[in-house]
A and B are shown apart, each in its own frame.
Chain A
Amino acid sequence: MSDWQVKYKSSLKDRGTEGILKLREGILLFVPNDPTSDSKLKVLTPNIKSQKYTKEGSKKPAWLNLSNKQGDSHIFEFQNYQDMHACRALITKALAKCEEEQPKKPAAVLTSAEQLSIADLELRFKVLRENIELQRLHKEFVETKVLTEDEFWATRKKLLGKDSIRKSKQQVGLKSMMVSGIKPSTDGRTNRVTFNLTSEIIFQIFAEKPAVRQAFINYVPSKMTEKDFWTKYFRAEYLYSTKNTAVAAAEAAEDEELAVFLKPDEILAQEARQKIRRVDPTLDMEADQGDDYTHLMDHGIQRDGTMDVVEPQNGQFRRSLLQDLNRHAAVVLEGRNIDVDSENTRSVAEALARVKQVSKADGETTKDANQERLARMSRLAEMEDLQAPQNFPLAPLSIKDPRDYFESQQGNVVNEPRGAGTLKRNVHEAYGSLKESILEIRTKGLRDPLIKPEVAFEVFRSLTQTISTAKNIIGKNPRESFLDRLPKSTRDEVLHHWTSIQELLKHFWSSYPITTTYLHTKVGKLKDAMSNSYSQLEAMKESVQSELRHQLSLLVRPMQQALDAAFQHYDADLQRRTAKSARGSAGEANGSV
């Protein structure tokens, strides 16, 4: 029923107009009874933000208050609470369905080849939100379709990767509590014993008792249903718990499937034996056949703490606490090594069986492994003082000659050739004149006057000029950067151009050599973006004040040079390609003719 008789109130004080509230596919429609009134209402379910309702016990009438995203609220008064709850339930269901559909929309925007998970998208948005510069770059390139999302993020994996490492799944281990051994609930009145079975319990049972797992695979669904199987299993458990071995033996004799559950686990025994065989003989431990824990009947403490004398012929129908605990502990330590949907019992069983097969295959000792073990045994068992001296092959120490480094610095020095003889003569003459100078100054003393006043004045003048012009060009503070003198907007623009040109050039140069059409189109788009940047730089240079223009052009010059180099390379490559294709087509034309 999705039509209700309601009174629509736009606010609490409103008296309310009577009408019919209809809920259809995603739309809530209110049609007033009175055709002349104009309070018809149509609300789209995605727009509903929340709903509030009055409680049943209170004396208030059944009101449902819907508020939508714009902030308006609509109050509907229902005839009874049942209607109101029904309507509310339907609206909740519709809202839930809407919310499911919404996250699918951004996924549809992506191309089919790159399906991103919602978590990845969220991560990207988060990174963009935190880094404004990155956001600007993203806006400039990805939204104008110069670069695709993946190309943009391809070089920034480190930013994304850190978060994803944190979110990596942690493996959940097994419970150390023995859920498979929880006592059932007994109902004295109806004489029924109820066992609860969850997927966790099923997993534990299959992990701890391989015979049960094997029986499950064999019997279900061929011989009996799953329910029957579990009934039989729990009957066996019940029999164990009653400690009535005579009954157990009798029932085992009758029902062969039940007998499977009652006998000791043969598969387990086999595994234990194999493990003992594989123990490293160099381990200083006395291990023998009697040590596998499936045979620890001697200790005799039963599951519920009593100590009983075991009759030999029914000995197999008893299980001791120690056995169960040990087996459970072994399974818990192995951990959860399958990752399968636990709903399907059969698939769980099969997966566990597969894992066991694999581990068995790995553990089987091949001939080589045996040889290895024997060799290791002999090595460890040898006596040191009876051994021959061992000459191990020594790797020679390679210490580099430090002279290599210093001499390589002298290297092959290239110089203008000089006549050797003339050099010597020049040198001697030079030294001679130097010595004469020193002698001269020693005898004559310092020059008098040391410096002529005109010369000094000239020096002062030129220095003053140099310093004042430098101050105009460079700025008062010797360490001040030119960027600080620019107006803020220009400075930001220059810096942004710098990062965006770097990004473009990075993608441009990485696309060469062009091997696919995808790279070809990408390079074309990048080139257009780069010419755009170039013209923007030119415009910026014009726009700035005249005194800063020279410095700005010096600052901007490396960017323009890099762009020029990229353009040159593009043109050269294009020329080469057209030349080659022209040659190729000419060759083909010749060939075809």
Chain B
Amino acid sequence: MGKDAARAEWDNPMQFVLACVSYAVGLGNVWRFPYLCQMHGGGGFLIPYLLMLVLLGVPLFYMELAIGQKMRLGSIGAWRAISPYLGGVGLASVVTSMYLCLYYNVINAWSFWYLFHSFQSVLPWAECPVNSNLTGHVEECERATPTQYFFYRETLDISGSIEENGGIHMGQALCLLLAWMIVYLFIVKGVKSTGKVVYFTATFPYLVLIIYLIRGVTLHGAINGVKYMFTPKMEQLANPTTWINAATQIFFSLGLGFGSLIAFASYNQYNNNFEKQAIVVSMVNSSTSIFASIVTFSIYGFKATFNYESCLERVRLLLLNTFDLAEDTISLENVNHWIAELNRTHPEQFASLGGRLETCDLEAELDTAVEGTGLAFIVYSEAIKNMPVSQLWSVLYFIMLLLLGMGSMLGNVIAVITPLSDLKFISRYMSTKTLNGLVCLFCLLLGLGFTTRSGNYWFTMFNDYGATFSLLFIVLIEVITVCYIYGIKRFEKDVEDMLGHRLNWYWKIMLAGVSPILLITLFIFYIVNYIQGGTPTYQAWNKELGKSVVTEYPPYAQAFIGLLLASSVCCIPLTALYTYCKKRNLASGKRERTVSTVSA
């Protein structure tokens, strides 16, 4: 309790709320939620999503804030205070956050790369570069699209598989250095500097989203995308994967289990009303997801319509050139009518067209659902290059991505630094500034591994396996610890002490009953899915074909995946064992001493 006087605090509760919003509203809201919405029946997906928010998201968010604010320590100290045997939960959170820190900033490095390349008269991903003897375009670019070529070749310089390593891409390394320097700048003075930065990182993305919404819905063909997204396909609700994905999305979007929320809340005043804030932040996060998906889908619709009309134009030209008709006989509207007509009147000549005649389908263009880095850096930049004044939209878009990513990075880094700075043996020897600098330097050096030629494959591995399974396990243990080991009654008393009123029946039922059951179901589903999935695979970029191919991970990579999963999960039982042994040694040591004094 004596640490209260020394601990830094947020200047006002608003900074805390904005920090939580900035952390929770991240890249997942922009690139994962729209994809899930599209995959699981459009408007109908909102039903499981909002239900899971109420049943799982808000109670767990509330619980983490309560723990942080009560214990006023980072995750390691807080969990050790709750239950000495389960201090490993905090350690597991720190390990998982460390993995996240390592690879997440690479996304910010890519955003910087794209941002800096937007300051050119022609966007570099708009056209294929010419080859060395100026006769045509680079073949890899011809087979793929210019945006894919720019991402895979010029940004990543990706190799053919995870086994083929290469040198470090200097541009990427520089951008990663910049990203880590900015993170350091934001956290160098602890919550004092972070508190001021979150005013900007939490609010500016909304400004850009609104500008993009206005631009997006006024684009030609945007309405196709929005209609496609919101048309509910209710039969998807019967699919259990829909519910599982909704729960997982809520879970990861709120950033539960990393220890960031505990760290943020530990800098609160003791009587801060976190109950209202928990509800507010969760609602803001979910509505941002829905808002961002409207923007994403209007841009999707624009891109799909553009590609569809380009396809029609190519078919029209092909027909005109093959049958030597005058230019104004075929227009974009009656292309399909003419195809049928020409097939009827000139069947042999039509047959000679063979495979060159493409079928243009707007639905198929809209169906190409993409998520993750593919959506953000390939699909979006393809849409942007076709907008008028594309440099401006590109700069705005990547600044938004940067702010979203930086806001989440702040939470990740604070989740690692707060518990470390609480440990006595570290804080005795170095100041917070030095500790922050060392953590940033360490993550930068390890993160350089992701800037090598095969770095993107390792990035995907970390992204898919580094945090998903361990987090589920961590949060499950958290809920069970708080409700059953620490006791829901003691928790109630602590909350009453802080807030002044007792726990509502809603919180009690959710925390003690519904959330643990849902978490156990999610956990079992993950394990079953993983086992059933067979050998883990990844998408490798094949430069001859100009597309990604599904490849299996080599054995050492699979072992590394296992190591990733085990390293954070094992912290919990190992720490419990260690504490048990230490307590036993202490107890037996005391007994020996008492025996010796008696005998003496």
Partners in one complex: no
Which B residues fall within an 8 A CB radius of A?
Answer: none
Interface positions of A (Cβ within 8 A of B): none
